[in-house]
Structure 1
Amino acid sequence: MSPTTRWRRSSYSNGMGGECVEFAAVPTGALVRDSKRPAGARIAVGGVAWAEFICAVHRELNARRRPADPTGPWEL
């Protein structure tokens, strides 16, 4: 891990100290850590597994989308 590794917080984090994870893209895939313990343990995920995880999350979110108004924006 480089000292310039850029960590990104889950978009579902509310910033209120709840359960949240952060990830950082690295050449071999991604690193995942607990946002409340940034110096703690990290999980290394290979590139293929990370891509499959992201695709599964997107599929699940899209499956849950229902239009509040057929002509309006989609909501979860």
Structure 2
Amino acid sequence: MTVISVIQLAPKKAISSWADNLLAIDSLFFLTSMMLSYWSIRHKDKLVKAELYADRFFIFGMVMMVSVGFLIAFELFTD
């Protein structure tokens, strides 16, 4: 949410719309991670791989979010 708020400070260039779109997709990775994690807690004996996939989605979401954060910071602080 913080990164989305900071995007509003950025000049309205193509990079801002890309960042908005990437963060929208990123939220789906976090949602998928959360659902898989919940599923693995509730059904321990049925899906062991769900926890592994939840971890992978979470890590990918974090990497994507940090990358977009750097992209926005670069856009804001370079003239």
Q: Give the structure-2-normalised TM-score.
A: 0.32
Say which structure, 1 or 2, has more relative contact order (CA 8 Å, 6+ apart). Answer: 2
Q: Give the structure-1-normalised TM-score.
A: 0.33
More helix by share: 2
More strand by share: 1
